[in-house]
Amino acid sequence: MADADMQVEQFLQALVDELAIPESRYEQAETSYKSLGDWFHRDESKVRDFDPAVYVQGSFRLGTAIRPINDAEEYDVDSVCELKRLAKRDLSQFELKLLLGGEIKAYHDAKGMTKPVREGRRCWILEYANGAQFHMDIVPALPNGAEQRLLLEKAQFDARWADTAIAITDREVPTYMVRTPDWPRSNPKGYGEWFKSRMAVVLARRKQMLAESLKRRGVTASVEKLPDYRVRTPLQAAVMLLKRHRDNMFARDPDLKPISVIITTLAGHAYGEEDTIAGALFSILGRMDQHIRHDGSRFVIPNPTDPFENFADKWEKEPQKAQAFFNWLEQAREDFGRAARATTFQGMNEAVSARMGTALADRAVRKISGNGGGLLRKASVAPAAAIPTFGNAPRVPTTPKGFA
């Protein structure tokens, strides 16, 4: 790797290290949802006979969680409670949510939690003590794998992720109070496996390297038993960088900011198994809009595990959200491209600090300097392959290149 490439990689790695949440947060999240699962299985539980399974979803499952921008914000730990021995014919969404809500409130009281349980649109929300700095969303769910497989196979869609599909509650749908087979669908386990498949080769290689490193230090650890969060792939790192860049760019217009699942899905599609953060980031920035379809009337970003779901469904009625995405993508290309062309760490800092956060970028540069990186050390001119220009990309497109 040329000096310039190495400096860009150093800088991006330092940014990611500053964004990364401590392993203790992953362990804390795991302890919390396992504790809730144990509560649901106690002798007095009203849901015990329905075989409740609690598991994490969202960024904690994907390994793309990032630190809150400030201490006033909390970590949002998204989880699911799936009652495996109940079916949609047995009760309504409202009844399921009420049933599980009673157990969650009893857990809250038994644990002496002071902040009240809140009800969200699809979930119950447990607020932990201020020192914990996180809350947990629990989505009530029922199995939906068999029906999802039939649905996808009938439409000749890829059904490899279907078996872990679930039906979830949503108090804003018309059928919320009715016993019906028509429930909102989700598949966080399937999506997690799809995302993992996009980085499987690199993930396996990095887990093997970690296991060998631990062995050299006298710690025996099999690759199979190492939790995924012990290593971070370039795909995960790139998603983390893009999410923080998005957060700051839309700090004053949060309703317009591109949702994380769109960024994560497009990044997963565009990732080409690059083994560096810089390689992954610039590959993703250069190609992610190529995975947005336009059918002549609307943008389509299919859920990889359920092509009937369009992650860009709100763009049709709110075209400003589509424009916001393309504006953000162009800005991210410009900012990270300028960072790659900079010849000092300070120049890289200045290129991204407005959107990544001044304090974060400053800490990253100080970390490199402390490791002997040298704040003002000159880099040689970066070779053309290392400098992203995105020359074929539209500046501020109204539709992705190549679509009507």
Model pLDDT for residues 108-150, shown as the tens digit of each residue? 999 999 899 999 999 999 988 666 677 899 999 999 999 999 9
Confidence category of residue 2, pLDDT binned at 50, 70, 90:
low
Are residues 152 and 86 located together in one domain of the fold? yes
Query: Rounded mean pLDDT of 366-389?
Result: 51
Report the DSSP beta bridge partners of residue 293. 300
Position 282 in a domain: yes
Query: Could you give the CA distance from residue 400 to residue 402 in angstroms, rounded to a whole number?
Result: 6
Residue 219: predicted pLDDT: 74
Domain of residue 100 covers 23-187
Say whether pLDDT at 362 is over 80.
yes
Give the pTM. Answer: 0.88
Query: Rounded mean pLDDT of 232-240?
Result: 96
% of the chain with per-residue pLDDT over 70:
87
Q: CB burial class (10 A; 0-12, 13-18, 19+) of residue 293?
A: middle
Are residues 140 and 274 located together in one domain of the fold? no
The CATH number of whichever domain residue 90 belongs to comes to 3.30.460.90
Domain boundary among 124, 156, 187: 187
Q: Are strands 185-186 and 293-294 parallel, antiparallel or unpaired?
A: unpaired
Are residues 13 and 101 located together in one domain of the fold? no
Residue 373: predicted pLDDT: 45
Say whether pLDDT at 220 is over 80.
no
Of 18, 55, 10, 66, whose CA–CA distance to 263 is shortest?
66
Residue 227: predicted pLDDT: 65
Position 204 in a domain: no
Residue 371: predicted pLDDT: 60
Query: Rounded mean pLDDT of 202-214?
Result: 81
* Alpha carbon 226 to chain centroid, angstroms: 20
pLDDT digit string, tens, across residues 146-195: 999 999 999 999 999 999 999 999 999 999 999 999 999 999 999 999 99
For the record, the structure tokens of 139 come out as: 């989505």
Residue 398: predicted pLDDT: 38
Query: Rounded mean pLDDT of 268-296?
Result: 96
Are residues 180 and 296 located together in one domain of the fold? no
Helix segments in 20-140, DSSP class H: 23-40, 59-62, 93-110
Position 211 in a domain: no
3-state DSSP assignment of residue 100: helix
For the record, the structure tokens of 60 come out as: 């904690």
Are residues 82 and 155 located together in one domain of the fold? yes
Are residues 15 and 95 located together in one domain of the fold? no
Are residues 241 and 350 located together in one domain of the fold? yes
1-10, 27-36, 269-278: lowest mean pLDDT where? Answer: 1-10
Residue 378: predicted pLDDT: 33
Round the average pLDDT of the chain to a whole number and report it: 88
Task: State how many domains the chain has.
Answer: 2
Residue 126: predicted pLDDT: 93
Say whether pLDDT at 380 is over 70.
no
Are residues 176 and 241 located together in one domain of the fold? no
Are residues 10 and 82 located together in one domain of the fold? no
| Of residues 19 and 226, more confidently modeled | 19
Are residues 174 and 269 located together in one domain of the fold? no
Say whether pLDDT at 78 is over 60.
yes
Residue 277: predicted pLDDT: 96
Position 260 in a domain: yes
Query: Rounded mean pLDDT of 375-380?
Result: 34
Position 396 in a domain: no
Cβ-proximal residues to 140 (8 Å cutoff; 6+ apart), any chain: 81, 83, 93, 96, 97, 99, 100, 101, 123, 124, 168, 169
Are residues 278 and 165 located together in one domain of the fold? no
Residue 222: predicted pLDDT: 64
Query: Could you give the CA distance from residue 330 to residue 334 in angstroms, rounded to a whole number?
Result: 6
